[in-house]
Structure 1
Amino acid sequence: MGEFIIKMPDVGEGVAEAELVEWHVKPGDPVREDMVLAAVMTDKATVEIPSPVTGTVLWLGAEIGDTVAVKAPLLRIQVAGEGGEVTAAPMPETVTMDTIEEQSPAAKVESPPSVEVKRPVQPAPVARAVVQSPADKPLASPAVRLRAQESGIDLRQVPGTGPAGRITHDDLDRFLARGAQPSVTPAGLAMKTAVEEIKVTGLRRRISEKMVLATSRIPHITYVEEIDVTDLEDLRTTMNASRKPDQTKLTILPFLMRAIVKAVAEQPGVNATFDDDAGIITRHGAVHIGIATQTPAGLTVPVVRHAEARNIWNCATELVRLAEAARTGSALREELSGSTITITSLGAMGGIATTPIINHPEVAIVGVNKIMTRPMWDGSQFIPRKMMNLSSSFDHRVVDGWDAAAFVQRLKVLLETPALIFIES
């Protein structure tokens, strides 16, 4: 019998390390060639690592949440014949948002001195079963979902012991062993003493780190302006009523995207990125608009590339496609990076005003608040108008208040007179 050492692969983009976010195996498990062993994450993309050999897992070199250097030993597998070592090749372009949090805790073993692992300072969470309510979407990796589907198991009835109630393979094993559906007794007015500890890993950690980076390094200036979108909403309703069967239904966002394209042509300083370490501002001719999107795994920012070359309908189609890809975890790595300016919208929950945090290293973000019908004075009487606030933040190191205001005021003119959006300059 021999032994194979599988090392952390180079996941691309010039990164020297990646975070381990999921183990599919534990010591003693048999594995076959091409079976997925683990998942690692970098830059909001999760990459699955397959096994290059068939054998039995002897040792795991890291725990979920650890940051592991490229080419560091990741696990050892006992194989028939001679052993060796190999740097595993990651599955190409695998982005799995459902596997960004932990799936199942690996058996804790001592790592050899050669493993380059950065241990997070947070204490390991205590596993607690969380029963998903029927209305909740169960948290589980694609592998667990597939197994549950093949076994005819309703994941909403399986108690999850992973972080945030994530269901693991071990949870499925325990559920199948019991052979009965767990009962959930309403607590009524009884006191609740349960405490849940959730380890911050994967996408949630990336979001946390990026928010800290943005707020600690960028001096934000937020400019709020109200927009009369009555005419825009009338136009949108008319266009939707006459749209072709293959055209996507229009929301307000495609109009805002086209308005941004026109506004940045006059204020190119807001369609930029700032390398504050090198002290270099890069103004972009291309308008790659990031769209902040809430997914089951957390906040992601899919990017509509070259909005300057798209019309209203094409913007709407690409917006829907990317949002769905982000929510289902099928977005590619390049679809989740490279934006030059970002839009954030909470839809009907948009509130009166917000203070958006800039998507570093960009220098501007446009926040959309909810539309409300309000009485507005026209000089002789009050009339009902559909009003919406734009809450936009700018990096005050490189965007002056005057330029920020000029940019927002241009958006205001374009959105209040929507015919201007369609005039080619």
Structure 2
Amino acid sequence: MAKQQVIVPDIGADAAEVIEWMVQVGDEIAVDDSLLVLESDKASMEVPSTLAGTVVELLVNIGDSLSEGAAIVLVETADAIEPAQIREEPPETNQAEAAGQSEAQEALAEAPNNQPVSAGKHSVLVPDIGTDDAVEVIELSVSVGDEVEEGDTLLVLESDKASMEIPSDASGRVLEIAVAVGASLKQGDLIGVLEVAGHVDTPPAPAQEPKQEAPPPAPAVPKSVSEQPKTAPVAKAPVARATASSSEVVYAGPAVRKLAREFSIPLEQVSGSGPRGRILKEDLHTFVQQRLSKPEAATVSVGAGIPAVPAADFSQFGSVREEALSKIGKVTAANMQRSWLNVPHVTQYDDADVTDLEAFRASLKDEAARKGTKLTPLPFLLKACAVGLKDNPKFNSSLSADGESIIYKEYVHIGFAVDTPAGLLVPVIRDVDKKGLWELAEEVLELAALARDKKLKPAQMQGACFTISSLGALGGKGFTPIVNAPEVGILGVSKSSVQPVWDGSSFVPRTMLPLSVSYDHRVINGADGGRFMNQVVALLSDIRRLTL
């Protein structure tokens, strides 16, 4: 075992600032694993390890300025390596391995153009970026109409190991931008067209550029610094972001930019807490948490400022564990918040005497087994609600988007909430009013199984007129279900229990089922709600009425 230092290779600049650590003491690393991120005026770059082993000590700090030859980390390796092997490699090898970043940065800094032309339109091309492979555009720094000076950043390119700003080689006004975020560019590709006022040095347009005058190939790029993929990277989906002006410089390393693209986070809207306002991964996490606590959709829907729930550091009170919401969880949360903010809810409560219903259901247990199904209370609830919807058409309607009319539905489709490991799903049974109890029982079991197995199709969760949310055996005497807009009503079902009920001469034990119906008060008033609830209670209390 031996302890060796990893040093800074040739980075093509006098010094660059340490802006991010990629490892910590105790980490096991391999050759070419990134150790830290350096940032100069024109590019940020990840510095790879030349050794494999265990990180023993970090020799520099965030904010330090490093130059070629500076020691970065101390690594404990399995085999002893002479320091000379690390610090003094043969000239030809050292030059090849240092070429990647230095060539890219020198090209960006100099951006030589050798053919003088008069004032007018000037085509800006991608300079030598140190590789023949295509590199992805991750940010546009200017837009059409902007005035730029020579040296102003036009766009940002990013390879696997570095992000680099491409400067303008002339001063003028932007007439055209020929690329978009997500595009892949090589040396010589057209970036845009400037209208210049003075005498400038500019290359000809790409269509007139002689192929034989292409610059000589750059020295071999080291795998340890900035080797590009063997094939051109596939263009990724554009990041949803506003175009920043040339004065709005965003400082962020490749790892942070990649994470921001994955989550569609506009970097220009994130406050950086690192040196020079640099954006760190923690800043992205904070940004996402703030957005989740105050969704933009909710702000738009209510048309007024609602104070956001302030972020809290719960770890200061004890250990915590954070898990990302599932996609279903996010959709459910957004839908519930939208409905609660937009729908003026009213909830009415009542109890249905289901003693006879439960006795009838128990008498059918053997028949259900022969049919290979199970007769739960839900098919009876579905039938009762279907009758209630037909006789109380306001419950089977929706308010138009402009709020100027009510849309009455001639069909009766009812959704029922299913608790699954992935979250709450609401499959929809169509034409409930036209189906019998056995057919409904089979469809309930089939759709519930599909929901729990994550096999429901989108069409099987659409088109509901009304929803039933049942807590069943979970307990509770009542709750306020949230209307699933654009529906205007929802029935909440709690746990039944045996209670003493006065029959006129004595108290007798009866099985009572707590019900709660929430409705949109813009469409349904208290009298409408009372009539609907009374009918559902009467139907469940005397199931013979379901046949009428």
TM-score of the pair, normalised by structure 2: 0.45
**How do 1:19-418 and structure 2 match up within 5 A?**
73=182, 108-110=256-258, 193-200=318-325, 202-243=327-368, 245-418=370-543
CA contact (8 A) 2:183 2:235 kept: no
CA contact (8 A) 2:368 2:375 kept: no
Flag structure 1 segments of 5+ consecutive residues without an equivalent.
6-55, 60-70, 88-105, 127-191
1:218 CA displacement: 0.7
Corresponding residue for residue 158 of structure 1: none
| TM-score normalised by length of structure 1 | 0.58
Structure 2 unmatched ranges of 5 or more: 1-131, 137-158, 163-179, 186-227, 238-253, 271-281, 287-316
In 1, Cα distance between the equivalents of 2:368 and 2:489? 32
- Cα 1:416–1:341 change in 2 (3 A) is same
AA matched with 1:258? K
Contact 1:4 1:86 in 2 (8 A): no
Deviations 1:46-92 (A, max 9, x none): xxxxxxxxxx9999xxxxxxxxxxx985999x9877777698xxxxx
Q: Distance in 1 between matches of 2:398 and 2:363?
A: 37
Instruction: Check the 8 A contact 1:125/1:197 in 2, yes or no.
Output: no
> What is the match of residue 142 of structure 1?
none
Number of corresponding residues: 281
Q: Is this contact kept in 1: 2:450–2:456, CA < 8 A?
A: yes
- 8 Å contact from structure 1 (residues 250, 313) kept in 2: yes
One-letter amino acid of the structure 1 residue matched with residue 440 of structure 2: C
The structure showing larger relative contact order (alpha-carbon pairs under 8 Å, at least 6 residues apart) is 1
What is the CA distance between 1:243 and its match in structure 2? Answer: 2.7
Greater Rg, structure 1 or structure 2?
2
After superposition, give the CA deviation of every residue in 1:108-161 in whole Å (9 maximum; x if it has no partner). Answer: 435899x975689896559xxxxxxxxxxxxxxxxxxxxxxxxxxxxxxxxxxx
2-structure distance, mates of 1:421, 1:284: 21
Q: 1:337 to 1:412 in 2, by over 3 A?
A: same
Give the secondary structure class of the aligned counterpart of 1:259. helix
For 1:293 and 1:305, how far apart are their aligned partners in 2? 16
CA distance in 2 between counterparts of 1:112 and 1:259 reads 51
**58 and 397 in structure 1: CA distance in 2 versus 1, 3 angstrom threshold:** farther
* Residue deviations 1:171-204 (CA, integer Å, cap 9, x gap): xxxxxxxxxxxxxxxxxxxxx9311234446222
Amino acid at match of 2:459: E
- Counterpart contact for 1:303–1:339, Cα < 8 Å: yes
Residue by residue over 1:351-380, the C-alpha shift from the partner in whole angstroms, topping out at 9 and shown as x without a partner, is: 111111101111000011111001111111
Amino acid at match of 1:289: I
Residue 495 of structure 2 aligns to a residue in which SS?
Answer: strand
Structure 1 residues 112 and 241: CA distance shift in structure 2, 3 A? closer
- In 2, distance between residues paired with 1:82 and 1:284? 54
Q: How big is the shift at 1:418?
A: 0.4
Find the residue that maps to 1:245 and give its secondary structure: helix
Instruction: Give percent identity, aligned residues only.
Output: 33
> Shift in Å at residue 248 of structure 1?
1.6
Partner Cα distance (1:251, 1:74) in 2: 57
Structure 1 417/112 Cα, relative in aligned 2: closer, same or farther at 3 Å?
closer
Measure the CA separation in 1 of the matches of 2:231 and 2:426.
47
Partner amino acid, structure 1, of 2:445: V
Q: Match of 1:317, SS?
A: helix
Q: Distance in 2 between matches of 1:223 and 1:112?
A: 46
Secondary structure, in 3 states, of the residue corresponding to 2:501?
A: strand
Are the structure 2 counterparts of residues 3 and 255 from structure 1 closer, same or farther at C-alpha, using a change threshold of 3 Å? farther
Kept in 2, the 8 Å contact 1:257–1:289? The answer is yes
Change (3 A) 1:75 1:205: farther
Q: Deviations over 1:357-411 (max 9, x none)?
A: 1011110000111110011111111111000111110101100111111011111
3-state SS of 2:505 partner = coil
Q: Is the 8 A contact 1:4 1:84 kept in 2?
A: no
Instruction: Tell me: CA distance 1:324–1:243, structure 2 relative to 1, closer, same or farther (3 Å).
Output: closer
| Secondary structure at the counterpart of residue 375 of structure 2 | coil
| Corresponding letter in the other structure for 1:405 | G
RMSD: 3.8
Q: Measured at CA, do residues 228 and 199 of structure 1 come closer, stay the same or move farther in structure 2, by a change above 3 Å?
A: same
1-structure distance, mates of 2:430, 2:526: 27
Contact 2:260 2:266 in 1 (8 A): no
Q: Distance in 1 between matches of 2:322 and 2:260?
A: 29
Cα separation, partners in 2 of 1:283 and 1:197, compared to 1, 3 Å: same
The corresponding residue for 2:165 is none
Pair 1:118–1:336, CA change in 2 (3 A): farther
Could you say which residue in structure 1 is the equivalent of 2:87? none
Secondary structure, counterpart of 2:398 in structure 1: strand
Q: Is residue 350–residue 514 contact of structure 2 (8 Å, CA) maintained in 1?
A: yes
Deviations 1:203-240 (A, max 9, x none): 22212211111111111111101110001101111122
Q: Distance in 1 between matches of 2:528 and 2:362?
A: 33
C-alpha displacement at 1:259, in angstroms?
0.9
**1:338, 1:313 → 2: CA distance?**
23
Distance 1:399 1:237 in 2: 36
